[in-house]
Structure 1
């Protein structure tokens, strides 16, 4: 019984470390992305997620205008959550459109345990 418990704990640790720490060599491109663009479908934001970080420290959008947020996992397996707007992105749901109705700064957190740097994987949505 004790051996089974140790084996399960070891397996859980390997999965947690492997989620963000894969050796994906796809180019993540520039470290900065252009500001959201106003297109026919509204504002567009792409959250590029790599090992333990998003590509920007903040993303700015306009209050009252529809915004489409897309999650791009360039390395590892990540999610994104903006609790105040009930936005949850992951591998099964990579795009969401909503209209921010209040100005302010809202944390965006990685919502999938991705390894040792998971707790620091944060960015901010600023609604102006």
Structure 2
């Protein structure tokens, strides 16, 4: 029984570490990107997730204007959570639309345990 438990814990650890694993280690150049205008007149934000980081350190949008936010997993399996706006994106729900009703800086965290760097996988949504 004890050996089975140790084996299962080992498998779970390997799966968690491998979730973000990939040979591709490209990094994005820019650290801040304003939201782009969507065809329907709203703002659009694309969160590109790679091993233990998002492609930008912050994303800027305007208060009171609709925002469509989407998650693109370029490397590994990740999620994105913005608690203040009740946004939770993952592989089953990759896009959400909302209208930010308050200005400020709001943390965006990876919401899927993706390995050893998971705790540091953060970025910021800035509503102006």
Q: TM above 0.5, one fold?
A: yes
Q: Conserved in 1, the CA contact under 8 Å of 2:33 and 2:59? A: no
Q: Conserved in 2, the CA contact under 8 Å of 1:79 and 1:91? A: yes
- Two-structure CA RMSD over aligned residues (Å): 1.6
Asked if 1:125 is matched to 2:125, the reply is: yes
Q: Conserved in 1, the CA contact under 8 Å of 2:50 and 2:74? A: yes
Q: Conserved in 1, the CA contact under 8 Å of 2:58 and 2:125? A: yes
Bigger drift between 53-62 and 31-40 goes to 31-40
Separation in 2, partners of 1:58, 1:16: 26
Q: Deviations over 1:64-93 (max 9, x none)?
A: 000000100000000000000000000000
Q: CA deviation at 1:21?
A: 1.4
Q: CA deviation at 1:29?
A: 7.4
Between the two proteins, the alignment pairs up a number of residues equal to 126
Partner of 1:78: 78
Q: Conserved in 2, the CA contact under 8 Å of 1:63 and 1:101? A: yes
1:9-48 matches, cutoff 5 A: 9-23=9-23, 25=24, 30-32=28-30, 34-41=33-40, 42-48=42-48
Gaps of 5+ in 2: none
Gaps of 5+ in 1: none
Asked if 1:57 is matched to 2:57, the reply is: yes
Q: CA deviation at 1:37?
A: 1.4
Separation in 2, partners of 1:37, 1:5: 49
